Chains A and B, each alone.
Chain A
Amino acid sequence: MLRHIFLAMLGILALAGAARAAGDIDAMTHADMLAAARGTEVRWHMWGGSDQINAWVDGYVATEAEKRFGITLVRVPMDAAVFVNKLLTEKAAGKDTGTMDLLWINGENFRNARQAGLLYGPFLDRMPSFRAYYDPEQSRYDFGFPVDGFEAPYGRAQFVFEYDSARVPNPPRNYAELKAWILANPGRFTYPQPPDFTGSAFIRQVFYATTGGHGQYMQGLDTKLYAKNAPAAWTWLNEIKPALWREGRTYPRDAAALDTLFARGEVDMCMSYHPAHAQMKILEKTYPGTVRTFVMEEGTISNTHFTAVPFNAPNKAGAMVVADFLMSPDAQLSKYLPANWGDLPALDVARLPAEQAGAFAAVDLGAATLPAGVLAGAAVPEIPSGYLELLENDWEKHVLDQ
């Protein structure tokens, strides 16, 4: 323990001079990267709101990175919007050697980072795992914005609602029933405050549900259409507001805060962007065993999440080695186990050798997780990120500040 503290101190002191002489990173093959990455440190900046995910990264990923590649993986908890903002500031300040090596990113944060030239790439085609096991079509777009090889898919997620079947025997099946349920059970429902990822996803689905579905929005941002349709969503959200937890005067800051309210029985419904999240919480003994999940008749949105490398990452080779490892069947399987995380694999199981494919098929997602068929049947695509930002900003104006 003392040794550990001492080493940590040394590590911190050494950070200042972490710039490494790297060969021409653009010309490196994966084998070159492996060689260059041995004995280095990779700092992975990622959302830190889930203990379970943090434990998976600190445990499985860090251990394997050390064992397989001699890489010391350091997880740095930080919201995506915050690190994108930080990169923007660094770019403006001309800081060519930054401090972040790998990012967990998607959606509007990816678009903003990409448009401002904050990301290194394209690198995806040089990733052996991607070439071997992934369907390039599946991750061509991220919230309607072209990926172009600047981020590496490492998981898929789909939005689900969570409820305790012991407390709510008949959960709502669509948004009309949800509204009726909320009004009939005041104080028992709320959603995380956008721009929280999960809360933002919830209002997007309300937007879909109250304005006639997602199809009309898929061609990119149409401000006229938005101006015409958005008020219906605000009306819906304002109508439920007085019946929300704390009368809608305050919203849980993030999804973890909502989980906590739900786990303690202060609200009766919860939501997650991870279909197996409830099962994971049951296994963790935070949720009672009677918790189940459901999706709406109108469908629930699904997306892919990615890792990316900043333009000024001090250890790009190491970052790409880790990004590739995260896409590998081993990591994808470990991540898929509900006791670890329960995140849906981003890879195409059909491209795996039979034995490995069998291992994926054998994963028991638990009673609280909906069968893959039900999820797939309900999946609707994410909205183009231009809409997303308008929705988040206007929610503040039309709902929060009302």
Chain B
Amino acid sequence: MSRALTLLALAVLFVLPVAVLVLQAAAPGWRYPDLVPADLSWSGLAQTLRHPAPMLTALASSLGYSLATVLATVAMTMAPARFLAHASFRGKHLLEGLLLTPALVPAMTYSMGLHFVFIRLGLADNVTGVVLVLSIAGYPYMLRSLTTACVHIGRDYRTCALNLGASPWRAFLQVELPLLLPALAAGGSVVFLVAFSEYFLVFLIGGGTVPSFTGYLFPVITSSNRGLGALVTLIFLAVPVALFLTLEVLLGGYFRRRGMR
């Protein structure tokens, strides 16, 4: 009984909306009071996709800056995470807490102050500025994930590699990095989602010059074109899922080859 209830709750909350979106995308004319679409022809979808260029541009742009943000956060947090995992000094907890604040305080509070200065520095209205500000909003997740992993792995593997004569770089690349891959994947997934889902920061700092997929969806939502809205929403689901699955397969294959799992 309670099992059925659990499964029902999950289905109603998370499966039904996806089904509704698929139907709405397939039948843009579906409206009140029909409980199921009267006309399921897929021709509506073709109508929706008459001019796909702006949508694809927005999607490509969002993918581009989101992936760049992931890379930027890795560059920002790799050394600090390894340091924070093993060092102990006064005020460490305070510092760690402080470094996580960008994920907590509203992004508006710092980004709007920055806007004017970014314009002066030539960082507004281009991808660099967008990636910078998104990295601030996203890096705490990467830092958290990497620090935890570094604590977990410990320093012994590295010491061992160094004792066997590996250079510090080689020890990092061939010993530590592979061990950190799952944490990188986990942190990267969250950072990617944060960047990919963000509307306001891209709108503010990108200033309309950097297209975003969220920005593409915004006007569609209030318009009466529900088919297009549903389609875009589905893509929002499909793209990250596809990325995560690919990542999972790649990582799985890598670890099998290296015999680590």
Chains A and B touch each other in the complex, with CB atoms below 8 Å apart: yes
Which residues on A are within 8 Å of B, measured CB to CB? 1, 4-6, 8-9, 11-13, 15-16, 43, 45, 48-51, 54-55, 58-59, 62, 75-78, 83, 86, 89-90, 92-95, 98-100, 253-254, 256-257, 259-260, 263-265, 281, 285-286
Q: Does B178 contact A (CB under 8 A)?
A: no
Closest to A266 in B: B32
**Given that A75-B54, A89-B119 are contacting pairs, would A5 and B222 also be in contact in the complex, using a CB cutoff of 8 Å?**
no
0/1 string, B3-36, CB within 8 A of A gives 1 = 0000000000000000000000000010110000
Q: Find chain B residues with CB under 8 A from A259 CB.
A: 223-224
20 more contacts with CB within 8 A, not counting A4-B56, A263-B224, are: A11-B57, A12-B127, A16-B127, A43-B209, A48-B219, A49-B222, A51-B220, A51-B224, A51-B228, A58-B53, A76-B208, A77-B219, A92-B116, A94-B120, A95-B120, A99-B125, A99-B209, A259-B224, A260-B224, A285-B29
A-B contact pairs, 7 of them (CB 8 A): A49-B219, A51-B228, A77-B215, A94-B120, A253-B222, A260-B224, A286-B224
What distance in Å separates the Cβ of A6 from its nearest Cβ neighbour in chain B? 8
A9-B63 Cα distance, complex, nearest whole Å: 9
CB pair B225 A51 closer than 8 Å: yes
Number of A-B contacts (CB under 8 A): 103
Q: Find chain B residues with CB under 8 A from A75 CB.
A: 54
**Given that A12-B64, A16-B128, A99-B209 are contacting pairs, would A256 and B54 also be in contact in the complex, using a CB cutoff of 8 Å?**
no
Q: Find chain A residues with CB under 8 A from B120 CB.
A: 93-95
- State which residues 111-152 of B face A: CB under 8 Å: 115-116, 119-120, 122, 125-128
Q: Does B60 contact A (CB under 8 A)?
A: yes
Which residues on B are within 8 Å of A, measured CB to CB? 29, 31-32, 50-51, 53-54, 56-57, 59-61, 63-64, 115-116, 119-120, 122, 125-128, 207-211, 215, 219-220, 222-225, 228
What distance in Å separates the Cβ of A71 from its nearest Cβ neighbour in chain B? 15
A16-B130 Cα distance, complex, nearest whole Å: 12
Q: Find chain A residues with CB under 8 A from B54 CB.
A: 54, 58, 75
By secondary structure, the B interface counts as: helix
Q: Find chain A residues with CB under 8 A from B53 CB.
A: 4, 58, 62
A210-B221 Cα distance, complex, nearest whole Å: 35
Q: Find chain B residues with CB under 8 A from A265 CB.
A: 32
CB pair B56 A256 closer than 8 Å: no
CB pair B224 A16 closer than 8 Å: no
What distance in Å separates the Cβ of A18 from its nearest Cβ neighbour in chain B? 9
CB pair A264 B125 closer than 8 Å: no
**Given that A16-B126, A49-B219, A49-B223 are contacting pairs, would A8 and B57 also be in contact in the complex, using a CB cutoff of 8 Å?**
yes
CB pair B223 A55 closer than 8 Å: no
Q: Find chain A residues with CB under 8 A from B115 CB.
A: 89
What distance in Å separates the Cβ of A94 from its nearest Cβ neighbour in chain B? 7
Q: Find chain B residues with CB under 8 A from A76 CB.
A: 208-209, 211
Q: Find chain A residues with CB under 8 A from B57 CB.
A: 8, 11
What distance in Å separates the Cβ of A402 from its nearest Cβ neighbour in chain B? 25
The one of B56, B63, B116 in contact with A89, judged by C-beta atoms closer than 8 angstroms, is: B116
Which has the most chain B C-beta neighbours within 10 Å: A8, A76, A95?
A8
Counting from the closest, the 8 A-B pairs by CB-CB distance are A8-B60, A5-B60, A58-B51, A93-B119, A8-B57, A260-B224, A99-B209, A76-B208
Q: Find chain B residues with CB under 8 A from A8 CB.
A: 56-57, 60-61
Closest to B228 in A: A51
CB pair A9 B224 closer than 8 Å: no
A259-B226 Cα distance, complex, nearest whole Å: 13
CB pair B119 A95 closer than 8 Å: yes
CB pair B208 A260 closer than 8 Å: no
Which has the most chain A C-beta neighbours within 10 Å: B63, B122, B207?
B207
CB pair B61 A9 closer than 8 Å: yes
Closest to B31 in A: A264
The one of B32, B59, B126 in contact with A5, judged by C-beta atoms closer than 8 angstroms, is: B59
Q: Find chain B residues with CB under 8 A from A253 CB.
A: 222
A48-B218 Cα distance, complex, nearest whole Å: 10
A53-B6 Cα distance, complex, nearest whole Å: 46
The one of B29, B126, B222 in contact with A15, judged by C-beta atoms closer than 8 angstroms, is: B126
A252-B209 Cα distance, complex, nearest whole Å: 27
What distance in Å separates the Cβ of B119 from its nearest Cβ neighbour in chain A? 4
CB pair A93 B222 closer than 8 Å: no
Q: Find chain B residues with CB under 8 A from A15 CB.
A: 126-127, 209-210
Closest to A45 in B: B208
A76-B215 Cα distance, complex, nearest whole Å: 10
A90-B115 Cα distance, complex, nearest whole Å: 10
What distance in Å separates the Cβ of B167 from its nearest Cβ neighbour in chain A? 35
Q: Find chain B residues with CB under 8 A from A51 CB.
A: 220, 223-225, 228
Q: Find chain B residues with CB under 8 A from A43 CB.
A: 209
A1-B224 Cα distance, complex, nearest whole Å: 27
A257-B3 Cα distance, complex, nearest whole Å: 42
**Given that A12-B64, A16-B126 are contacting pairs, would A78 and B208 also be in contact in the complex, using a CB cutoff of 8 Å?**
yes
A253-B222 Cα distance, complex, nearest whole Å: 9
A1-B207 Cα distance, complex, nearest whole Å: 26
What distance in Å separates the Cβ of B60 from its nearest Cβ neighbour in chain A? 4
Q: Find chain A residues with CB under 8 A from B51 CB.
A: 55, 58-59
CB pair B209 A256 closer than 8 Å: no
**Given that A45-B208, A75-B54, A93-B116 are contacting pairs, would A260 and B223 also be in contact in the complex, using a CB cutoff of 8 Å?**
yes
The one of B207, B211, B220 in contact with A86, judged by C-beta atoms closer than 8 angstroms, is: B207
A83-B125 Cα distance, complex, nearest whole Å: 12
What distance in Å separates the Cβ of B4 from its nearest Cβ neighbour in chain A? 35
A254-B223 Cα distance, complex, nearest whole Å: 10
What distance in Å separates the Cβ of B170 from its nearest Cβ neighbour in chain A? 33
A49-B60 Cα distance, complex, nearest whole Å: 22
A45-B54 Cα distance, complex, nearest whole Å: 14
A75-B54 Cα distance, complex, nearest whole Å: 8
A49-B219 Cα distance, complex, nearest whole Å: 6
Which has the most chain B C-beta neighbours within 10 Å: A89, A263, A265?
A89
Q: Find chain A residues with CB under 8 A from B222 CB.
A: 49, 253-254, 256-257, 260
**Given that A16-B128, A90-B119 are contacting pairs, would A256 and B64 also be in contact in the complex, using a CB cutoff of 8 Å?**
no
